[in-house]
Amino acid sequence: MASTIKKIGVFTSGGDSPGMNAAIRSVVRTCAYMKVDCVGIFRGYQGMIEGDFKPMDARSVNNIINKGGTILKSARCDDFRTPEGRKIAYEQLKAEGIDALVVIGGDGSFTGAMIFNREYGFPMIGIPGTIDNDIFGTSFTLGFDTALNTVVDCIDKIRDTASSHNRLFFVEVMGRDVGHIALNAGVGAGAEEILIPEEDRGLDRLLESLKRSKQSGKSSSIVIVAEGDKTGKNVFELKEYVEEHLPIYDVRVSVLGHMQRGGAPSCYDRVLASRMGVKAVEALLEGRTNLMVGVRDNKLILTPIDKAIKGTSKMDKELIRVSEIMTT
Ligand code: F6P
């Protein structure tokens, strides 16, 4: 049976991540391939409320697969949290003839689309785009792989100067409440210690480990600190704490910040984004809704959006063990 969906709106919402442009390109080109109209919605839910729309065809997304950020822009929108805001958004979408939505973002963006679907029956499919990799129902979110490569590159550089001066560096990485970036980049960059919110082993253990490290003849040390870690101290307080208890160390701090969100997406993120965009449009045209596209064991899967929102992404226990063995 032919699909009733004739025009799909695509938008990015929440924190941007590398690979979002590749996903937009994929959605737009899949629509063109399937002979369905596609409209870009600018600035996420804010642009939906303001009717900030632009029809997009296959040529509108030339030369963006390699670009970081999002050409559709992103915004955090308070108005969409209100029934009045959502009503205006619905009227704008209807006036534009948009039948269904592909939302590229994190769990906050999916929650908005789910509520909107409940109120107005608007079909939606989510594509997980965030560097944090904190979404249930997928082993990889778009941008995570690129962010890891960025972080590892930065830590390699920090190590050069750290070892030249026999220094200890605390490097803070993003990840909001989860430690996926810290753990993976920490293992990849050979960090001496990795502090993640999921495994608080206390400050005594950190001191012990740093003491052992010095005694064993290491010339420099890198400690990765996830921004959401649970030691109760931020990186600057950790520096003071270590300087007070282990004066033998010359300590510096580096907060990597938003550079982790920028830059050209890795090949992995571009391919994943391309696959997810096709899957999202196909699912909508098959009459499916309220699902998130994910990847597991390199196969694309669809997870009910409420489960993706409520579930928690699990830490890789095996990788935690590997990190412990590697810091010996
Ligand atoms: O969710 C992505 C992320 O970069 C987190 O890692 C970080 O905690 C947060 O967004 C920063 O948000 P903002 O860009 O609004 O400061």
Matching residue, tokens 């830059």: 263
Active-site choice (37, 99, 132, 269): 132
Q: Please tell me the distance from the alpha carbon of residue 102 to that of residue 36, in angstroms, as a whole number.
A: 13
Identify whether residues 116 and 183 lie together within a single domain. no
> Residue 287: inside a domain, yes or no?
yes
Specify whether 204 is catalytic.
Answer: no
| Ligand 1 neighbourhood includes 172 CB (under 6 angstroms) | no
In a domain, 323, yes or no: no
Do residue 128 and residue 52 come from a single domain? Answer: yes
What's the CATH number where 57 sits?
3.40.50.450
pTM for the full predicted model = 0.97
**Atom 10 of ligand 1: nearest residue by CA position:** 15
Q: Is 134 in the pocket of ligand 1 (CB under 6 A)?
A: no
- The Å distance, Cα 52 to ligand 1 centre, comes to 24
Q: What mean pLDDT value characterizes the chain?
A: 96
Same domain, 139 and 272: yes
Per the structure, how many domains does the chain have? 2
CA of 182 to the centre of ligand 1 (A): 14
Model confidence pLDDT, tens digit, residues 236-281:
999 999 999 999 999 999 999 999 999 999 999 999 999 999 999 9
> Does 163 share its domain with 123?
no
Give the rounded percent of residues in the chain with a pLDDT score beyond 90: 93
Q: Is 17 in the pocket of ligand 1 (CB under 6 A)?
A: no
**pLDDT per residue over 128-163, tens digit each?**
999 999 999 999 999 999 999 999 999 999 999 999
pLDDT score for 218: 85
Do 62 and 132 have their domain in common? yes
Statement: residue 1 has pLDDT above 70: no
Q: Does ligand 1 have an atom closer than 6 angstroms to the CB of 15?
A: yes
Site to substitute for ligand 1 among 133, 148, 174, most atoms within 8 A of C-beta: 174
One domain, residues 131 and 44: yes
Cβ within 8 Å of residue 316, ≥6 positions away: 183
pLDDT at 2 over 80: no
Residue span of the structural domain in which 205 resides: 144-261
Residue type at 327? T
275: Cβ contacts below 8 Å, ≥ 6 apart = 26, 295, 300
| Other beta carbons less than 10 A from residue 93's beta carbon | 23
pLDDT band at 327 (very low <50, low <70, confident <90, very high): confident
